[in-house]
Structure 1
Amino acid sequence: MTPARILIIAGSDSGGGAGIQADLKTVTLLGGFGMTAITAITAQNTLGVQGVHPIPTDMVLAQIESCISDIGVDAVKIGMIGSAQAAHAVADRLAQLDDVPIVFDPVMVATSGSLLADDATIAAFERLMAIATLVTPNIPELAALGGEGIAARFNTHVLAKGGHGEGPMLTDRLIAPDIVRKAWSNARIDTPHTHGTGCTLASAIATGLGQGLELIEAIERGRKYVREALALAPGLGSGHGPMGAPFGFHAYA
């Protein structure tokens, strides 16, 4: 059986907890085949981001074209975008795809608090939201993008993640252009090792969509995967460490 082909457009995390590294782990453990278009190289660990080097836009597009033209693509996950120019160019290219689900995780700030997108790049996120099947902002990102109304404005689905909320229970809400379709609440997992949660969830959902799952099914499996990964965090580093790798998670598939 041919695995679902998942194109990951995102930045590299040298510490391995988030970005391309987390995306590839997730896609592989969920039975997909991951391909990458790296948008930026970061010097990063559990304590923060020490340096960012954006990849030139033409090279980002060349990576995308190499994957699409030869191997093909069943779903796309977009994470960190290195520049506004890259955001516009990626949106132009992906708009040419036919019936390929796109999951956009609007990365602005790393778990450590380090800025990963400037104002111009965040403004250019509108182009990516307009072509996305699903946008997965956390609470601060959703506020910066314009609130829950972005679902109707860009005719997309928004998974408003509650991980930055207060209290012992956290709620994620799936917002369609006209209604809240579904909400999920779970007890907070008490751990500082949350680096890469957003990347991992978006990649898990994209993999599910590429495998033919309906949107809600893909979200539910992705949430279960992330919660198990949080519970398995190995405690690496002195700050916000990476999550664990739930080998054998196929039992949930």
Structure 2
Amino acid sequence: MPDNEQNIVLSVAGFDPCGGAGVLADMQTLQQCKVQGMAAITALTAQHEDKVNQINWQDFESIKAQLDTLFEKYEFHIVKIGIVQDLNTLDQLLDLLLAHKAGIKIIWDPILQSSSGFDFLKELKVAQLTKVLSKLFLITPNLPEYEQLQKALNGQPITTNILLKGGHTEGNDTSDRLIHIDGTESQISGYRVKGKNKHGTGCVLSSAIAAGLSKGMKLKTACTFGKRYVEGYLKSGINKLGKHYEIEI
């Protein structure tokens, strides 16, 4: 068992060869947050920080085999999910995770399109989307993703906690809105880091939040911690691949 057995976070996401997004970015983030990261691969991509050329999806049985092997030895309390092929795969995945551990907290970063314009999850059916959302602890959409989810739901409520990221808003205020499942809201302050456009910030944010939750933080505290980690990540380097850094947690 890892020395920090109580602080293991599972990432179920795609493999990005350049390391800027997906499980490689998740593992780098978790390591800097002093959390043990483990992963299962949902897709093998051919990409770098500027574009996605190809994606090879892993079917559910392949993902399940990876997870079942980990479940033989480890118990997970916090899971972050990235790109998935479709809602059916996501639904099966959620059922598998919930069967593994009652009360497991699952974060879904609903990546519907890459920053370079590649579409991932193309079909959102209202009944299945509603069912999936009800099984999650938190989703972390940006504004276009949030609007797309709302449109797909035809006015039905999103039945989970939502961290609506502020990076796509205009101006220098990039504060996030944390919308709790009971409808109450709070704000997590943020500012635009000018001239810094990084690849994989959504993956980094959701992983940092997962790390915070694994350390026992309340939801808003974990989201605030994630926001601060990403701001530091955005400031690093001069190209689209950010630099991870150790942070006290």
TM-score, length-scaled by structure 2: 0.90
Per-residue deviation, 1:124: 4.8
Equivalent residue pairs, number: 244
Q: 1:113 offset after TM fit, Å?
A: 1.8
1:26 to 25, 29, 33: 29
1:177 — aligned with what? 181
Cα deviation digits, residues 159-205 of structure 1 (max 9, x gap):
01111111121120000133333102322101343211111110111
- Partner in structure 2 of residue 195 of structure 1: 199
SS at match of 1:242: coil
Q: Deviations over 1:47-96 (max 9, x none)?
A: 21010000121011111222223121121001111234321210221232
Q: Does 1:2 align with 2:1?
A: no
Which of 40, 52, 69 is the equivalent residue of 1:37?
40
Change (3 A) 1:212 1:21: same
Q: Which moved more, 1:118-127 or 1:72-81?
A: 118-127
- What residue number does 1:133 align with? 137
Aligned residue among 87, 91, 112 for 2:90 = 87
Aligned to 1:113: 117
**Counterpart AA for 2:67:** I
Query: What amino acid sits opposite 2:241 in the alignment?
Result: P
The SS at the match of 1:193 is coil
Q: State which drifts further: 216-225 or 117-126.
A: 117-126
Q: Any gaps of 5 or more consecutive residues in structure 2?
A: none
Deviation at 1:225, TM superposition (A): 0.5
User: In the alignment, is residue 210 of structure 1 matched against residue 214 of structure 2?
Assistant: yes
| Aligned counterparts of 1:39 and 1:107: Cα–Cα separation in 2 | 13
Percent same amino acid among aligned pairs? 31
Distance 1:25 1:76 in 2: 16
CA spacing shift, 1:92–1:198, aligned 2, 3 Å = same
Matched, 1:243 2:247: no
CA RMSD of aligned residues (A): 2.3
1:3-49 Cα shifts (integer Å, max 9, x gaps) = 41111011111111111111111111101111111000111112210
